[in-house]
Amino acid sequence: MKIPFAKYHGCGNDFILVKEDAVKKADLPSLIVSICDRHCGIGADGFMIAKTDPLEMIYYNQDGSRAPMCGNGIRCFSKFCLDEGIVTKESFAIKTLAGTKVIESCGHDWFRVNMEKPLFDTRLCKIDQPIWNMKYKGLHLYTLFMSTIHTVVFVEDAFADIESIGREICEHEMFHEQTNVNFVQIVDDHTLKVQTYERGCGVTLACGTGVCASAYVAYKEKGCASRLHVEMKKGALDIEILADDTLIMQGPAEKIAKGEYYYD
């Protein structure tokens, strides 16, 4: 079985994208794990299906688990839809499990996304009680729902080895469906560095929704500016927090490859 695919990345966060018709006959959980394998497959942090009428981004982690949304992913999805002629306008809406997101193509592979407001509903975060400035092994945890569940942790060096503590927090029993863990370093009032341990994936080079969550907590709790430049290991995003707490994300999306995946 030949599956037409394209591969994109946003700040190093990479994804495989397909049209809905290409995978109608595939066993999705098996396909996703296979195609996202970095040794025996194409390799990617996530897998997306483009569904039309209405336009919808169906997103999966590399382990085959479904996720509501992905910030870097939605920019890559937007570029894929433009490249494939699925959309032709510079501004369009994309349906996700985290609501409908409005996208604006700014040219030069740069996209502006209205990420809406963070939410603090414990039911959405799959926790029993609010986790806000909760001390855990010398760290302070801040948990919120920013299109998906995120926990923000402030550290001295965001680019240090976070795998062990990231996994520990992610899989802790207080998070009934795990959490994405963002390690945040405040460089100055306008600049952050962020590295994320993602549930269903592990340490990734970038996480768009995680950057938004990190910027919001830095703004609210640490006195940082409402316009922030957020650096990751393979790129950066610009985040603006509006007066009503709506977050606007701006950043790149790049095509890496296009071809056919041979799937048995």
User: Catalytic residue numbers?
Assistant: 70, 207
Check if the beta carbon of residue 79 is closer than 8 Å to that of residue 52: no
- Which one-letter amino acid corresponds to residue 40? C
Q: Which residues lie across from 122 on neighbouring strands?
A: none
Phi–psi pair at 39, nearest 5 degrees: -110, -45
Closest of 179, 145, 146 to residue 247, by C-alpha: 146
**Structure token digits, residue 175:** 């998070």
Q: For the chain, how far is it from start to end, CA to CA, in angstroms?
A: 6
Gap between the Cα atoms of 104 and 234, Å rounded = 23
Q: Which residues lie across from 181 on neighbouring strands?
A: 151, 197
Gap between the Cα atoms of 28 and 60, Å rounded = 10
In the DSSP assignment, the letter for residue 173 is T
In the DSSP assignment, the letter for residue 21 is G
**Structure token digits, residue 45:** 């942090």
Sign of dihedral through CA atoms 179, 151, 66, 201? negative
- Which one-letter amino acid corresponds to residue 17? L
Gap between the Cα atoms of 122 and 186, Å rounded = 27
